[in-house]
Structure 1
Amino acid sequence: MTIKNLQIEYDAINSRNTFSNGDTINGRIILEVSKETKVQSLLFIAKGKARVCWSEHYGQNQTHVYWADEKYYSVKHHMIRESIQDGSEVIGKGRHVFPFSFKIPDRKMPSSFHSSVGRIVHKLKAELKQSMKLTKKAKTHFIFVSKADLETPGLMVPQHESKDKTLAFSSGSVSMDVYVDKMGYKHGETMNVTIKINNNSSRSVKPKLELYEKRSFFAQGRRKLETRTILKEKAAAVEAHSGKGTVTKMITIPRELPPSILNCSILKLEYRLKVYLDIKCAANPKVKLPVVILPVDDSRERREKQPIPPIEFGFEAFGNSHLQSRATASQAMSLPPPYEEAAMYPSFPSDFTTPL
């Protein structure tokens, strides 16, 4: 086989191996050939895209598939262009390195996400075309984390919800007021929850709290909903006819949670705090409050680690068809850390495939 290896790789700019709006990704396409070879073109591609897809069954024999796509950017640049008369260029035997520098669009886009129903993918690709041969491809995903949108209404404003319930059989009434210090939290931050209970009933009530994840997928006028409990807390029971009482709970936001995704029209990742009163032989009164998990701010670390690319980097140099000006010798390269090190962001398993 003439083409021994085609791969694309990039350099990490922080310890979590994540990128954000406006960051520059420096990397390289590596091509190894066993002998002098004609190449039509070598293309660099960067894409950001979301897709949801699921099926629903109706009756015994009818199945409908719902799907939707949302595109954020698609950038293509030639590393080797079809500019010679015969439409090909000859490269010598050995290892050839084609550096690139890609700036992620500095606009609002959702963070990387992966589930069985929907995914948000940001990736880099290389495509090598040769006459009368199949196009050879290589790709790598990078983890994109959107910058925190601090303009979200009510993000840092205290929240309050109340609920009243009258019990059956003249058993009295119960009411609760739930107060939370704000809506937006960083990983590891503590949420202060205050529950004011007025128990004028003949039954004891036990306050319980649940932080859960809510995933919503939208396609063709339909919505698919998935929920997952993250943590549960409970407080001491408030005895019957005890009147007014106050319960305070401190909840630490787990560090492994992915940030909220609120800026994608076909996929949303939200969090809720549910507070309810567990009452025997009665429907439990409950309130739900939105919680926004903010992304980690890596801006300082990015500024310290991100190198300034050399002048030949950048898309303005991609049109140059003279291979002699490109780095073709073996280089010592700093590979990015594996995705699994970024525990709070989605990892891509070895069998991960996607048409995105």
Structure 2
Amino acid sequence: MTVKHLSVEYNKVNERGTFSPGDIISGRVIVVTSKETKVQCFLVRAKGKAEVTWCEQGQTTVVHSDKKKYFYFEHIILQDKSKGDGSEIIGAGRNVYPFTFVIPNIDMPSSYEGKWGKITYSLRAQLTQSIWLVHKTKTEFPFLTKSDFPFASKSEMIIIGLKEQQCVTRISFFGSGKVTMNVTSEKMGVKQGEALGVSVEVLNDSARTVTPKFYLCEKQTFVAQSKRTVHTNDILFGIGDSVPAGTSRIITKVLSIPPQLPPTFFNCCMMKLEYRLKVTLDVPLAKDPDIKLPLVILLGLPKPHQQKPKRSIWFRKLPG
């Protein structure tokens, strides 16, 4: 092995460490060799893509998958244009090769990884010495859409209500009486890391003690070749004070949105991410009534990005 190290690095363009449509991404490919090395081809690629895959179990297993490419660029650093005899030479020691790509200024979704799909933006370098000897390395870079509302194309009216108060009432009947629950949230749109005030008014005219619980409901939807699957996840936000039988009480909770929670998005044809705020009443020996309110998670304040460690791969490619 004459190639001892192969890596690809990029330069940050902002404090968040992210890239957006129209940005220039530049960097370098670093190769360390023990001696002069002949190569057939040496290149670096920039790629943005979305892909989904899931299985349906039945009498037979059916795999549903699809891909969408947002952009693909290739820059050839060295290439043997003769007969593939490896006449291009990389010198011994540490070699650095710069590159620059311009990200297309079009609407593209932010980086995301869900249960059955992901949206990734990456840089890949490949050094081919022969048909049996190929070196590869890859690093992903975080990408953010330019749109503050990556769901506006689906519903313009949702933007109007982002700062409006929401209120929903539910009346549930039990054998011993009824329970009325009024849920009010201060707004529908909240940024990553922000707090959301929620008020629950419970009128307990039953003979049972009830306890409100607060959940953040995540809904991931994936589409492949006209097929659709959904993955949901409920995150317990907190538990309110119990309301004894024959009493009423107003419970107020301040719920903090996790700063690492991915924002709501609809601007990908193969997947989307939605949220709901769910408040349930824990009722002994009965089905728990619940109220769901729409919740839009918006991009929060910039934070420095911790770049993932690069991974280098060396393998021997066998014929056939």
Q: TM-score range by the shorter chain?
A: 0.7 to 0.9
The residue correspondences of 1:102-121 to structure 2 (distance < 5 A) are 102-115=101-114, 117-121=116-120
Kept in 2, the 8 Å contact 1:161–1:287? The answer is no
- 1:289 corresponds in structure 2 to 293
Given that 1:6 and 1:138 are in contact with CA atoms closer than 8 Å, whether structure 2 keeps it comes out as yes
1:271 aligns with 2:275: yes
> Which residue pairs with 1:255 in the alignment?
259
Distance 1:266 1:163, change over 3 A: same
Find 1:339's aligned residue among 303, 308, 311: 308
Which of 238, 245, 257 is the aligned partner of 2:243? 238
Corresponding residue of 1:95:
94
Aligned to 1:69: 67
**TM-score w.r.t. length of structure 2:** 0.79
Q: Distance in 1 between matches of 2:195 and 2:311?
A: 32
Task: Give the match for residue 317 of structure 2.
Answer: none
- 2:61 maps to a residue whose letter is T
Q: CA deviation at 1:86?
A: 6.0
Distance 1:218 1:349 in 2: 30
Residues 294-340 of structure 1, C-alpha deviation per residue, up to 9 Å, x if partnerless? Answer: 22344xx89xxxxxxxxxxxxxxxxxxxxxxxxxxxxxxxxx95428
Give 1:250 shift: 0.8
Q: Which residue of 2 is the match for residue 146 of structure 1?
A: 145
Q: Distance in 2 between matches of 1:176 and 1:136?
A: 62
The change in CA–CA distance for 1:93 and 1:280 in structure 2 (over 3 A counts) is closer
1:47, 1:73 within 8 Å by CA — same for their partners in 2? yes
Quote how far apart the aligned CAs of 1:251 are.
Answer: 0.6
Over the matched positions of the two proteins, sequence identity in percent amounts to 42
Partners of 2:284 and 2:266 in 1: how far apart?
Answer: 37
Pair 1:3–1:198, CA change in 2 (3 A): same
The answer on 1:222 being equivalent to 2:191 is: no
RMSD: 3.2
Letter in 1 for 2:294: P
Counterpart code for 2:253:
K
Counterpart-to-counterpart distance in 2, 1:134 and 1:234: 59
User: What CA deviation, in whole Å up to 9, does each residue of 1:118-137 have, x standing for no partner?
Assistant: 22221101223456554432
CA contact (8 A) 2:138 2:311 kept: no
Give the structure 2 partner of residue 52 of structure 1: 52
- CA pair 165-96 structure 1, distance change in 2 beyond 3 A: same
Taking a change above 3 Å as real, the CA distance of residues 11 and 37 of structure 1, as seen in their structure-2 partners, is same
Q: d(CA) in 2 for partners of 1:274 and 1:132?
A: 57
User: Alpha-carbon deviation of 1:66?
Assistant: 1.6
Residue of 197, 200, 207 corresponding to 2:202: 197
* CA 1:184–1:350: 2 relative to 1, 3 Å: farther
- Alignment of 1:28 onto 2:15: no
- Aligned twin of 2:184: 179
Secondary structure of the corresponding residue to residue 108 of structure 1? coil
Give me the TM-score of the superposition, normalised by structure 1: 0.72
> How many residue pairs get matched?
304
Residues 232-266 of structure 1 show CA distances to partners (whole Å, capped at 9, x for unaligned) of 322223344446x5332111112232333432222
Any unmatched runs of 5+ in structure 2? 314-320
Alpha-carbon spacing, 1:278–1:94, altered in 2? closer, same or farther (3 Å): closer
Structure 1, unmatched stretches of 5+, are 303-335, 341-347, 352-356
The question of 1:164 aligning with 2:170 is answered yes
